[in-house]
Amino acid sequence: MQIVLATRNKGKIRELARIFAHELPEVELLGTDNFPELADVDETEDSFEGNALLKAVAVSRFTKLPAIADDSGLAVDHLKGAPGIYSARYSGVHGDDEANLQKVLREMEGIANRRAQFVCAAAFVAPNGYQKVIRAEMVGELISQPRGANGFGYDPIFVPEGFAQTTGEMAPDLKDSISHRGKAMRELAQIISSERASWEQ
């Protein structure tokens, strides 16, 4: 059985392949690279869940296969949930991780309340109309001096609750085991497996 993952990011595909190998060993995960005619989907919704669903619906419709999509970001309490769904383009340039991180650090200068959470919504959509969206979070605190080169995005300034390392300093397996994306995708994989009769017709 094949499921399309709505991303061209090879790192994300590898990460999800590891998770799915446990829950759904018979599934082959395809990236959207296998469908070169598929256009990128604009994230026009105002929530992580809405954007994840939007992407999964578009990819499932186009490929006529079940599809999984995620949308994720950093929500800072003092910034009333920003950068939130705009995390990838907070500085104005899409995907400029360093500029995005520096903008958050500037806005948090001298602020005592440094609580933040990474959020991930993971959506699954099947050609028969079945839909499921799972949301998961990883709570922590922002530091003011970036540390660690293992991660991406805001990882160098995020220390998860109960840990001393930033997610940028953690081994990838440890991060996967506690991360917003790891939690959402493991739960989604379990549901896809247990509700197979509902979507596989």
Q: Write out the residues near ligand IMP by the rule CB under 6 A.
A: 71-74, 87-88, 97, 100, 118, 151-155, 167, 179
Q: Give the residue nearest to ligand IMP (CB).
A: 153
User: In Å, what is the CA distance from 177 to each residue of 12, 51, 92?
Assistant: 15, 24, 31
Give min distance, CB of 27 to ligand IMP, in A: 22
DSSP, residue by residue, 83-106: BGGGGGGTTSSTT-HHHHHHHHHH
Beta carbon of residue 128, minimum distance to ligand IMP (angstroms, whole number)? 26
Residue (66 or 153) nearer to ligand IMP, CB? 153
Closer to ligand IMP by CB, 79 or 127: give it: 79
Q: Least distance from C-beta 171 to ligand IMP, angstroms? A: 14
The single residue of 40, 42, 46, 71 carrying the catalytic annotation is 71
Nearest-angstrom CA–CA distance, 129 and 127 = 5
Identify which of residues 155 and 169 has a Cβ nearer to ligand IMP in the complex. 155
The answer to whether 19 and 25 have CB atoms below 8 angstroms apart is no
**Is 97 tagged catalytic?**
no
Contact between 27 and 190 (Cβ < 8 Å): no
Catalytic residues, by residue number, are: 71
